[in-house]
Amino acid sequence: NAGVTQTPKFRVLKTGQSMTLLCAQDMNHEYMYWYRQDPGMGLRLIHYSVGEGTTAKGEVPDGYNVSRLKKQNFLLGLESAAPSQTSVYFCASISGSNQPQHFGDGTRLSIL
Amino acid sequence: AQKITQTQPGMFVQEKEAVTLDCTYDTSDPSYGLFWYKQPSSGEMIFLIYQGSYDQQNATEGRYSLNFQKARKSANLVISASQLGDSAMYFCAMSGDDKIIFGKGTRLHILP
């Protein structure tokens, strides 16, 4: 049972490039979340989804887009990467409200 | 709006002593959940304990207990008999209105 899988684990981009981070879960969870983690800032919520076909903005959504076309996948896109988006990105999922999250292992993204 | 605050950036504690990590929160939602996660240096997020807003008793999980004071809006984590392996970042989180947000974390150092 894989749980939550994030792809890729590491990536280096140049300013202005685009890329998509993939989060896949095999637990049939309804809710999925994208966070970024920066030193001294904790985890900040970027976007989240409460079900297939739905997305909503979190605390720091600017510069990111998301899609949830399939229940098991939650994609995070950077259309034009900026150095300020250098971070570790975590995906998480839960089965229902007020449940503990299952986290992926994170994606370390560097923007040069 | 939801807010969660951890005021201790770092703590040093002697092995075998008890530790209290502070967490305060703010929300207008009557139904919410409070969580604590541990993040060791390897980077993964480990769920420790959960408290629901309607739970009458404080949650306990082994050496972890959550000191929930609803009127004061605090949800402190207590670790009894600390061990060297408890050295890590600790995050308090709150769920509500479909979102889950995190505090900035406390880095705990256990001294031998």
Encode pLDDT of A15-50 as tens digits. Answer: 999 999 999 999 999 999 999 999 888 999 999 999
A44 and chain B in contact, CB less than 8 A: yes
Nearest to A48 among B47, B52, B99 (CB): B99
Q: Check the CA dihedral A39-A40-A42-A43 and report its sign.
A: negative
Position A76 confidence tier, pLDDT thresholds 50, 70, 90: very high
User: How much is the pLDDT for A97?
Assistant: 78
Average pLDDT value over all residues in chain B: 95
Nearest to B44 among A31, A58, A105 (CB): A105
Average pLDDT value over all residues in chain A: 95
User: How much is the pLDDT for A1?
Assistant: 62
Question: HSE on the CB side for B78, CA within 13 Å?
Answer: 10
A98 and chain B in contact, CB less than 8 A: yes
- Which ranges constitute the DSSP H helices of A18-67? none
**By C-alpha distance, which of A43, A11, A21 is closest to B102?**
A43
Q: Name residues 50-89 of chain A within 8 A of B (Cβ).
A: 50, 56, 58-59, 88
List the structure tokens of A48.
Answer: 């989240």
Residue of B nearest to A39 (CA): B104
**By C-alpha distance, which of B97, B94, B86 is closest to A100?**
B94
Helices (H) and strands (E) in chain B, counts: 0, 12
**By C-alpha distance, which of B14, B20, B15 is closest to B6?**
B20
Residue among B21, B45, B94 with most chain A CBs within 10 A, to mutate:
B45
B45 and chain A in contact, CB less than 8 A: yes
User: How much is the pLDDT for A99?
Assistant: 85
Q: Are B32 and A98 in contact (CB < 8 Å)? A: yes
pLDDT score of B80 more than 80: yes
A96 and chain B in contact, CB less than 8 A: no
B59-76: pLDDT as tens digits:
999 999 999 999 999 999
User: How much is the pLDDT for A47?
Assistant: 98
B96 forms beta bridges with B99
B83-93: pLDDT as tens digits:
999 999 999 99
List the structure tokens of A69.
Answer: 């076309």
- Which ranges constitute the DSSP H helices of chain A? none
Distance CA B89, CA A68 (A): 31
